[in-house]
Amino acid sequence: MITIPKHALTLKPYQAGKSISELAREKKLNRIVKLASNENPLGLRRKRRPL
Amino acid sequence: MRHVSAELHRYVDPHSTELVAAIAALGDDEFLHRTIEANHRSLARLTACFDDLHIRYVKTAANFVLMLLPTEEHAGRFFEGCLDHGLILRPVKPFGIANGIRISSGTDDETAFAVKVIEQVWTDIMKLANASACD
């Protein structure tokens, strides 16, 4: 049995932002743009090195 | 076991894999410079739009900008209004700023779309406020 320290119980889990698929289900929209995630708008770089 | 995994998400940041990819991408100079330019261009366009509309924001050195709306209610209505037009932004109430909405930089095309939506939604909110002030 793992016991969780009291101070840790007050931490709140990360709340993710709204997703494109979620919004697409909720509303009829021609276009959805998500500027909510701090991702690189250019996407992944083309060059990839093996890890 | 279920008990443990249910608890774990409190402590584990969900972004650890992205960090590894981000560090690897920093070694690619050409990609890095294209990214920095695209970021500056998008943020300059967005903040010019905020200046035009008299929307306050925090000066940024990142790849996003934090808008500070007059009240929490404005932020809620603005976020929902943008969703109605297909623009997803990030309310930062979970991070402790109830009147804050964060917008990340986008491609030229995404930024142009965002500016159009923001102008429309903010103008509608202000019209509504003026109309009720005249009642």
Q: How many CB pairs under 8 A join A and B?
A: 92
A14-36 pLDDT, tens digit each = 778 889 999 999 999 999 999 99
What is residue A50's predicted lDDT score, i.e. its pLDDT? Answer: 55
The CATH number for B33's domain is: 3.90.1150.10
Q: Which of residues 116-135 of B touch A (CB under 8 A)?
A: none
Contact B87 A42 (CB under 8 A): no
d(CA B111, CA B106): 5
Contact A35 B88 (CB under 8 A): yes
- Is the separation of the CB atoms in A35 and B42 below 8 Å? no
Gap from B134 CA to chain A (nearest CA, Å): 33
Q: Model's pTM, two decimal places?
A: 0.83
- Is the separation of the CB atoms in A29 and B86 below 8 Å? yes
What is residue B7's predicted lDDT score, i.e. its pLDDT? Answer: 73
> Of A3 and B41, which is predicted with more confidence?
B41
Q: Give yes or no for residue A51 having a pLDDT over 60.
A: no
ipTM of the complex: 0.83
Q: How far is CA B87 from the centre of its chain?
A: 10
- Work out how many domains chain B is built from and give that number: 1
d(CA B105, CA B114): 10
Strand partners, B64: B104
**Which residues does chain B have within 8 Å of residue A50's beta carbon, measured at their own beta carbons?**
none
What is residue B44's predicted lDDT score, i.e. its pLDDT? Answer: 98
Within chain B, which residues score under 50 in pLDDT? Answer: none
Q: How far is CA B74 from the centre of its chain?
A: 15
Q: Residue B21 sits in which domain range?
A: 2-134
What is residue A47's predicted lDDT score, i.e. its pLDDT? Answer: 64
What is residue A13's predicted lDDT score, i.e. its pLDDT? Answer: 77
